C-alpha cells in the first residue's frame, strides 16, 4: 500500500454503473461545490434536504447557503438523531413531507447526515413518486467509506436491521472530510471499524498501512482522504461487479452477521453503535474462522489488537448492560439477509485480507461458538 500524497486536492472515485454511473468526490471543503455540482447535473431542479437535528445544528445552514449561491431552491426535513429513526413511522413522515414540499420526479433529495439519514432518505427517494434522484452528503466516517456508496437503502424491522428497503443508487456523493472534525471521538472510532473492514476482508497491504497510519487519519491529516478513497475504490469495484449482492458483494458484510445481531439485541441504542457492533462482529468472525481451522490464531490476535488499539470494543463484556442470551442472538442471526432457505451464511476469513463466503454453516456450530463468546471469560 503506497503512502498518501501530501496534496489536499479533491479525489474523485467513479462508480461505473453504465447509465447510472456517478462520482464520489472526496476532499476537505468539497461541500462548497455541492450547489454548482447539482446545478450542472440537474439544471432547474429543486431540492429537499433530509437531515437529523444534530447534523442540522452543525451543517444545515452552510449546506443551504451553497445551494442558494447556485440559485437552487431548497426545503428541509428534520428527524430525530439515531438508529431509532430508521422505522416505518419516520419513513412515512419523510415521504409525506417530500411530497408536501412539491418535490417532483425531476428534482433531488439530499441526504445530509450519517448512515441512518442516508438509508432513510435514500429509501424515501426510491419510493416517492415511484423514485426520485438523491445525492448523498455523508457527515460521518462510517457513511463516507461505506453506507453512502452502493445504493443500499432501508429501514429496520422489529425483527432485525435493514430488513425493509430497496437498491437505489445516488446520482452523486460529496464526502467533505472537514465535516468529520465535528464528530465526537466515539462516533469517529465507530466509523473506523468500517475502514479497517476493507483491509481485513480483501487488502492486507491496506490493513498494514492502517496499523502504521491510523493516528494521522484520526488527527485529520492527508491520511484521512487517502484511506477514505481506498475504501471507496474498493467498494465501488465490488458494487460494479455485483450491484444486487448476489455473490461477491456479500463480502462487504464481514462482521455484520454477528454485529447486526448484537446491535439489534441492544435495541439499536447508544449502548452499542453500529461501527462498534461491526468491530465486535469482525473479531467474532476471525475467532469463529480460527475455531474452524480456516485462519491462524496469530491473524486473529493481530486483527483484534488493532481494533482495540484504536479504542473499539473487542469483547461483548465491553457492551454496557451486557448483551442478550444465546437464544435471542441466534433468533436474530436467523433473520440475517444472507440466510437462504433457512441455511446460515457467514463471511469468514482465511487470514487478513482473505475473506470468503461460507454457505450452509451448521447452526449448532454457531450456537456453540456464541455460547462461548458471550460468556464472561
Structural domain that includes position 159: 11-182
Same domain flag for 18 and 65:
yes
Task: Give kind and range of the element (H or E) at residue 272.
Answer: none
State mean pLDDT over 75-92: 96
The CATH number assigned to the domain holding 129 equals 3.40.50.1970
DSSP E strand boundaries for 92-186: 108-113, 133-138, 152-157, 160-167, 172-176
More confident residue, 360 or 136: 136
- The answer to whether residues 73 and 103 belong to one domain is yes
Mean pLDDT calculated for residue range 3-14 = 76
pTM score > 0.95 for this model? no
Is there a single domain that holds both residue 91 and residue 31?
Answer: yes
Write down the pLDDT at residue 294: 97
Assign 159 a pLDDT band (cuts: 50, 70, 90): confident
- pLDDT category at 7 given cuts 50, 70, 90 is low
What's the rounded mean pLDDT across residues 35-41?
96
Same domain, yes or no: 317 and 178? no
**Is a pLDDT exceeding 60 seen at residue 169?**
yes
At residue 160, the pLDDT reads 84
- Is 6 contained in some domain? no
Which residues lie across from 52 on neighbouring strands?
A: 79
Do residues 149 and 15 make contact, with C-beta atoms less than 8 angstroms apart?
A: yes
Quick one: 100 and 143 in the same domain?
A: yes
Q: Say yes or no to pLDDT of 134 above 90.
A: yes
State whether 175 and 211 are in the same domain: no
- CATH number reported for the structural domain that contains residue 327 in this entry: 1.20.1090.10
Is the residue at 120 inside a domain?
yes
Q: What is the pLDDT of residue 346?
A: 95
What is the rounded distance in angstroms from the CA atom of residue 55 to the CA atom of residue 185?
A: 15
Q: What is the DSSP string of 335-352?
A: T-TT-BTTBEEEEEESST
Within a domain: 193:
no
**172 and 288 belong to one structural domain:** no
For residue 268, tell me if it sits in a domain. yes
For residues 173 and 218, membership in a common domain is answered with no
| Residues 258 and 176 reside in one and the same domain | no
**Residue 313 maps to a domain:** yes
Comparing CA positions, the residue from 222, 310, 275 lying closest to residue 114 is: 275
Q: Is the residue at 44 inside a domain?
A: yes
Q: What is the pLDDT of residue 40?
A: 96
Strand partners, 356: 348
Active site amino acids = 130, 152, 194, 235, 245, 249, 253, 256, 260, 274
Instruction: Tell me, yes or no, whether 190 lies in a domain.
Output: no
Residue 74 domain-assigned? yes
- Confidence category of residue 6, pLDDT binned at 50, 70, 90: low
Domain end position, chosen among 154, 182, 210: 182
pLDDT at 1: 46
The residue among 182, 211, 228 that closes a domain is 182
Percentage of residues in the chain having pLDDT higher than 70: 96
Min mean pLDDT across 58-62, 156-160, 272-276 is at 156-160
Query: For 240-268, b where at least 16 C-beta lie within 10 A, e where not — what string?
Result: beebebeeebbbbbbbbbbbbbbbbbbeb
- Least-confidence region, from 6-15, 39-48, 223-232: 6-15
Q: Are residues 219 and 340 in the same domain?
A: yes
Which tens digits make up the pLDDT trace of 312-354? 999 999 999 999 999 999 999 988 766 766 678 999 999 999 9
Q: Say yes or no: 210 and 339 in one domain.
A: yes
3-state helix, strand, coil in the chain (%, to 5): 55, 20, 30
Residues 235-267 have pLDDT tens digits of 999 999 999 998 999 999 999 999 999 999 998
Among 182, 215, 233, the domain-final residue is 182
Contact, 171 vs 135, CB < 8 A? yes
Same domain as 214, residue 170: no
Q: Which three cell numbers stand for residue 241?
A: 461487479
Tell whether the model's pLDDT for residue 51 goes beyond 90.
Answer: yes
State how many domains the chain has. 2
Average pLDDT across the chain, whole number: 94
Amino acid at each position: 500500500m503506497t503512502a498518501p500524497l501530501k496534496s489536499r486536492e479533491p479525489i474523485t472515485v467513479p462508480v461505473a454503473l453504465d447509465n447510472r454511473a456517478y462520482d464520489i468526490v472526496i476532499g476537505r471543503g468539497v461541500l462548497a461545490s455541492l450547489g454548482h455540482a447539482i446545478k450542472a447535473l440537474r439544471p432547474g431542479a429543486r431540492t429537499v434536504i433530509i437531515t437529523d437535528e444534530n447534523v442540522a445544528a452543525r451543517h444545515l445552514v452552510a449546506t443551504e447557503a451553497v445551494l442558494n449561491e447556485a440559485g437552487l431552491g431548497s426545503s428541509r426535513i428534520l428527524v430525530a438523531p439515531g438508529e431509532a429513526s430508521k422505522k416505518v413511522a419516520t419513513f412515512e413522515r419523510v415521504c409525506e413531507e417530500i411530497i408536501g414540499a412539491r418535490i417532483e420526479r425531476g428534482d433531488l433529495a439530499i441526504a445530509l447526515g450519517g448512515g441512518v439519514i442516508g438509508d432513510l432518505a435514500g429509501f424515501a427517494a426510491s419510493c416517492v413518486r415511484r423514485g426520485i434522484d438523491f445525492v448523498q452528503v455523508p457527515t460521518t466516517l462510517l457513511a463516507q467509506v461505506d453506507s453512502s456508496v452502493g445504493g443500499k437503502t432501508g429501514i429496520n424491522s422489529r425483527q432485525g436491521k435493514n430488513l425493509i428497503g430497496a437498491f437505489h443508487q445516488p446520482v452523486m456523493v460529496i464526502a467533505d472530510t472537514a465535516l468529520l472534525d465535528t464528530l465526537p471521538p466515539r462516533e469517529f472510532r465507530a466509523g473506523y471499524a468500517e475502514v479497517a473492514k476493507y483491509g481485513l476482508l480483501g487488502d492486507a497491504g491496506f490493513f498494514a498501512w492502517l496499523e502504521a497510519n491510523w493516528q494521522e487519519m484520526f488527527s485529520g491529516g492527508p491520511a484521512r482522504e487517502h484511506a477514505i478513497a481506498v475504501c471507496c475504490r474498493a467498494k465501488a469495484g465490488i458494487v460494479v461487479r455485483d450491484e444486487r449482492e448476489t455473490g461477491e458483494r456479500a463480502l462487504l458484510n464481514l462482521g455484520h452477521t454477528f454485529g447486526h445481531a448484537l446491535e439489534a439485541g441492544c435495541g439499536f441504542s447508544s449502548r452499542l453503535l453500529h461501527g462498534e457492533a461491526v468491530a465486535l462482529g469482525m473479531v467474532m468472525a476471525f475467532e469463529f474462522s480460527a475455531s474452524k481451522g480456516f485462519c491462524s490464531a496469530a491473524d486473529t490476535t493481530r486483527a483484534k489488537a488493532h481494533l482495540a488499539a484504536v479504542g473499539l470494543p473487542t469483547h461483548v463484556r465491553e457492551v454496557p448492560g451486557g448483551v442478550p442470551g444465546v437464544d435471542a442472538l441466534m433468533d436474530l442471526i436467523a433473520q440475517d439477509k444472507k440466510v437462504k432457505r433457512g441455511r446460515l451464511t457467514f463471511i469468514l476469513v482465511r487470514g487478513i485480507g482473505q475473506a470468503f463466503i461460507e454457505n450452509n454453516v451448521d447452526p449448532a456450530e454457531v450456537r456453540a461458538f456464541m455460547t462461548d463468546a458471550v460468556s464472561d471469560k
